[in-house]
């Protein structure tokens, strides 16, 4: 999970750009400006107060339908004239183009932090559209209190743990057997219990332990092939330390946490050379 910055475009900016594209509209976009602004202001205020699961008090104005707001997103932002802006939203302010939740897959969609069915006035609000991969987006539907990349920041907090494990159906658990891995959130990794809860909820809903284990399954295999040719533990650790040193990801990323777990493991120490 990583911190991100929204693009510098307001809810009203994007709404005013897309609304005239709707068919059968009677009122100009300016008619609904107060409610569009109010919905974004409420969202910002509540997120800054860490009340991410809030229920909106801003109602749809007369003359603007929920189906129209959904259509603005589906047909005109994601799939129409606003696609260029949609791509900028997905790429992020600095063009990172990584999912803000799993941080391994490319962002290919926008996750509505506040779901558009319940908060239609935020359907095209850039601050409510989180760059994500399709899998993370799908798995987190209905999660009210989850990690918000625009307001939450883990910084350098060591929040993730990795454990090497052997499947029960496999014979042997010794150094000659390549282990699997299991990731988990370290309980109470920060004094901010609300943030710890959001991270844990996101981690569980997105099934990140299993997905990261699948993503990095070949890493331990590569280490095994190289380290099994060496007899000294120092040389084996040096191989892993090089992988840690030359990787660009932060120390609390799943890849880095995995490498450090392997480096310090009894498995690497006892590996037969």
Comparing C-alpha atoms, which of 131, 32, 35, 152 is closest to residue 86? 131
Alpha helix positions (H), the chain: 11-18, 33-48, 66-71, 83-91, 134-139, 193-205, 208-215, 217-227, 233-245, 254-263, 266-270
Tell me, yes or no, whether 176 and 91 share the same domain: no
Task: Quote the number of domains for the chain.
Answer: 2
Residue 152 is assigned to a structural domain of this protein: no
Tell me, yes or no, whether 56 and 126 share the same domain: yes
Residue 147 is assigned to a structural domain of this protein: no
Q: What is the pLDDT of residues 250-264, one digit of tens each?
A: 899 999 999 999 999
Tell me, yes or no, whether 118 and 165 share the same domain: no
Comparing C-alpha atoms, which of 41, 42, 13, 47 is closest to residue 29? 13
Tell me, yes or no, whether 126 and 180 share the same domain: no
**What's the domain range around 184?**
160-270
Q: What is the pLDDT of residues 142-181, one digit of tens each?
A: 888 999 999 999 999 999 999 998 865 455 555 567 889 9
Tell me, yes or no, whether 128 and 22 share the same domain: yes
Overall pTM surpassing 0.85 (yes/no): yes
Tell me, yes or no, whether 192 and 245 share the same domain: yes
Kindly state the percentage of the chain with pLDDT values over 90: 71
Instruction: Collapse the DSSP code of 71 into the 3-class scheme (helix H, G, I; strand E, B; otherwise coil) and give the result.
Output: helix
Domain-terminating residue out of 139, 169, 202: 139
Tell me, yes or no, whether 192 and 91 share the same domain: no
Tell me, yes or no, whether 130 and 17 share the same domain: yes
Q: Are 26 and 13 in contact (CB under 8 A)?
A: no
Residue 151 is assigned to a structural domain of this protein: no
Tell me, yes or no, whether 19 and 93 share the same domain: yes
Contacts within 8 Å (CB) and 24+ apart, 40-47: 40/10, 40/11, 40/12, 40/122, 40/125, 40/127, 43/114, 43/119, 43/122, 43/125, 43/127, 43/128, 44/127, 47/127, 47/148, 47/150, 47/151
Domain-terminating residue out of 110, 139, 168: 139
Tell me, yes or no, whether 22 and 86 share the same domain: yes
* 129-132/109-112 β-pairing: antiparallel
Q: Would you state the pLDDT for residue 169?
A: 45
* Pairwise pLDDT comparison (203 vs 170), residue with the higher score: 203
Q: Would you state the pLDDT for residue 172?
A: 53
Domain-terminating residue out of 139, 171, 190: 139
Residue 3 is assigned to a structural domain of this protein: no
Under 8 Å CB-to-CB from 243, ≥6 apart: which residues? 223, 259
Tell me, yes or no, whether 184 and 91 share the same domain: no
Residue 149 is assigned to a structural domain of this protein: no
Tell me, yes or no, whether 114 and 209 share the same domain: no
Mean pLDDT of 231-249: 90
Query: What are the CA-CA distances from residue 21 to residues 12, 127, 239 (Å)?
Result: 15, 22, 57
Residue 16 is assigned to a structural domain of this protein: yes
Average pLDDT, the chain: 90
Q: Are 120 and 61 in contact (CB under 8 A)?
A: no
């Amino acid at each position: 999970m990583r911190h991100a910055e929204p693009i510098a475009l307001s809810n009203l900016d994007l709404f005013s750009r897309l609304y005239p594209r709707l068919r059968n509209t009677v009122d100009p976009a300016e008619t609904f400006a107060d409610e569009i602004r109010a919905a974004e202001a409420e969202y910002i205020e509540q997120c800054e107060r860490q009340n991410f699961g809030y229920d909106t008090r801003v109602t749809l104005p007369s003359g603007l339908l929920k189906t129209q707001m959904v259509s603005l997103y589906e047909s005109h932002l994601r799939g129409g004239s606003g696609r260029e802006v949609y791509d900028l939203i997905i790429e992020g302010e600095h063009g990172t183009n990584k999912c803000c939740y799993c941080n391994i897959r490319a962002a290919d969609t926008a996750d509505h932090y506040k779901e558009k069915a319940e908060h239609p006035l935020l359907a095209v609000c850039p601050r409510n559209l989180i760059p994500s991969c399709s899998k993370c987006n799908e798995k987190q539907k209905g999660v009210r209190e989850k990690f918000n990349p625009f307001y939450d920041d883990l910084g350098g907090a060591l929040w993730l743990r990795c454990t090497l494990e052997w499947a029960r159906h496999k014979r042997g658990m010794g150094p000659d057997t390549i282990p699997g891995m299991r990731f988990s959130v370290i309980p109470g990794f920060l004094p901010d219990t609300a943030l710890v809860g959001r991270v844990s909820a996101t981690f569980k809903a997105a099934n990140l332990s299993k997905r990261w284990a699948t993503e990095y399954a070949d890493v331990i295999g590569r280490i095994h092939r190289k380290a099994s040719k060496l007899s000294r533990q120092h040389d084996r650790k040096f191989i892993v330390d090089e992988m840690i040193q030359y990787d660009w990801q932060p120390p609390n990323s799943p890849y880095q946490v995995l490498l450090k777990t392997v480096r310090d493991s009894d498995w690497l120490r006892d590996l037969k050379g």
